[in-house]
Amino acid sequence: MAAVAFIGLGNMGFPMAGHLLAAGHDVVVWNRTRHKAEQWQTQYGGKLADSPALAAQSADIVLTCVGRDEDLLEVLHGESGILKGLKPQALLIDHSTVSAEVSRQIAQQLLSSQQQFVDAPVSGGQQGAINGQLSIFCGGSPEAVARAQPILAAYAKAQAHVGPVGAGQLAKMVNQICVAGVIQGVAEGMHFAEAAGLDVAQVMSLVGQGAGASWQLINRHQTMIRDEYDHGFAVDWMRKDLDIVEAEARRLGVQLPLTPVINDFYRDVQRMGGGRWDTSSLLKRLQEFATNTGKPD
C-alpha cells in the first residue's frame, strides 16, 4: 500500500479519493474549499492537509483532479503548491481534463528528472467515479505508468498506456469528440420521434437494444424525456473540453466537421441558462429551437 495525496475533491475526485482509502492506501486530501475536504473526511476517514504542499510532503504518489489548465498550474506551483512539498522521487498523476500542452509542460519544465508524471484523464462520469468503474487514458513513460496502474486500479474499470506524456489528454479528446456526437444523435432521434407522434420512451428503449445503442441513450433518454438535466457532466465543462479539442485540431491541421458545430450548440445551451445542466440538454436546445422557430436567445 502507498502513501497517497489527493488534490481536488469535486464530483469526480471526492469518490475517487474514497476508493483509494478503501483499497488500503494511506490517503491525505486537500481541496480548495475546506468544507468539502471535511465532508470527505466525515464520510471516508483519512487525513486532511492545510495546503497542496503539505499534502505532498507526506506522499510518495500525488494525484490531482481539478478543472482547467490554470487550476492545475496553480495547485502545482502556487504559493503553497504541490511542488513546494513534492518528494524527490515522487510520482505525480493528473486526472484533470486539460490540454496536452500543459501536461508536457509539467513533465518537461516543472518536475525534476527523478520525479515521474502520468497524465491520466478519466471517462465514466460521476457515477463511474462513485462505482469505481472509470476508463483511464494514461500518458507517460512505461516506468511511470507501470508505477501508477496499481493505484489507479482502485477505481478503474479499464486503463491503458496510450503513449508518452500528453497522449492521455489526446485520447480523452477522442472520447469527448465521440461523446458529443453521440449525444447530439440521441437528441435528434428523440426530437424526431416526438415530432412524428411516436411513443418516445418505447422507441428509444427498442433502439437501445439494437445497432443504435449507446451508453448515452441507455442511461439518459428517460431523464431527457422528463426534462431533467442534473444527472452528470455539466455543459460548462463540456464546452471547456471541446474548446481544447478544437485548439488541438487546429494545431494538428485536422478537420473536425461535426465537433465545432456541437460546441456551438452547447454555447446556445449556455445562453439558455443551462451551463450547469448536464450534456444531454442538447435535446432541450432542439425543443427550444422548434418552439421559437429560430436560434435560442
Taking the alpha carbons at both ends of the chain, their separation in whole angstroms is: 54
Q: Which amino acid is at 216?
A: Q
- Annotated catalytic residue: which of 172, 240, 284, 295? 172
Place of cell 415530432: 195
157 flagged as catalytic: no
CA separation for the pair 118, 160 (Å, rounded): 12
Write out the catalytic residue numbers: 172
